[in-house]
Amino acid sequence: MTQMNQLGVVHRTIQRADPAAVKALAGFGSATVHEAMGRVGLMRPYMRPIYGGAHACGTAVTVLLHPGDNWMLHVAAEQIRPGDLVVAAVTAECSDGYFGDLLATSFRAQGACGLVIEGGVRDVKDLTEMRFPVWSRFISAKGTIKATVGSVNVPVVCAGVQVQPGDVVVADDDGVVVVPAAVAAATAEAAAAREANEGEKRKKLASGVLGLDMYKMREPLEKAGLRYVD
């Protein structure tokens, strides 16, 4: 499959990440998951949740929209399976509000657990009351048209990250991270290992132990040339 035939296509069959791995990843925050992958896979920080405390983890149904046109979101609704999270890219920057409470009602009815969109969203009060989490670049009441076909379940680039249909998306207050399906299980394990001794560290730091000592940084800092002056 090449980019040239990506417009006007809906892929009905996609390979979703292993459900066990998705479930495991759901227990971690975006910061931990992104570190576990080697500090890659994070969307640009302009992607913000519409309400504080939003958290979602699901398998990506991807959508490619045209600026000011949300037709493909309706097409995408049919491809949603329980546990999916819709990821929408737009072929050019446009602040329109592509998504509101009616689409959210439909997405939830099909089983979606959230939306990530590199564009605008509206009805944020309703969405907040519904607790349907959306991460977007803009909030805008501006409506869209239904005139040009885009695609569903093709690879897209959203906020600086390549997303394949079926990849795992973990989103919370800190941002949105994409885990390729093939490494979902390994990433969940690495995340678990990372968090294993965080409680211990937190306790030490809270008791007044310095990171300088806990992480044994004094010697490397001295070697790197750091000097103290009274």
27 touching a second copy, by CB under 8 A: no
Amino acid at site 136: S
Which residues have C-beta within 8 Å of that of residue 148, sequence separation ≥ 6? Answer: 66, 69, 71
For a second copy, the closer CB: 20 or 102: 102
Which residues have C-beta within 8 Å of that of residue 16, sequence separation ≥ 6? Answer: 22, 59, 81, 83, 84, 166, 181
Map the footprint of a second copy across residues 153-212, applying CB under 8 A. Answer: 155, 157, 160-162, 172-175, 177, 180, 182-183, 186-187, 198, 201-202, 205-208, 210-212
What is the per-residue binding string for a second copy in 89-128, x denoting contact by CB under 8 A? Answer: --xxxxxxx--xxxx-xx-xxx---------x-xxxx--x
Residues in the chain: 230
CA distance 4 to 100: 31
37 touching a second copy, by CB under 8 A: yes
For a second copy, the closer CB: 32 or 58: 32
24 touching a second copy, by CB under 8 A: no
229 touching a second copy, by CB under 8 A: yes
Give the distance, in angstroms, between the CA of residue 120 and the centroid of all CA atoms in the same chain.
16
Contact residue for a second copy among 81, 131, 146, 189 (CB under 8 A):
146
Please report how close the Cβ of residue 98 comes to a second copy at its closest, in angstroms: 11
Contact residue for a second copy among 11, 18, 192, 195 (CB under 8 A):
11
Decide if 137 contacts 47 (C-beta within 8 A): yes
List Cα–Cα distances, 156 to 22, 64, 87, 196, 220, in angstroms: 20, 7, 9, 34, 42
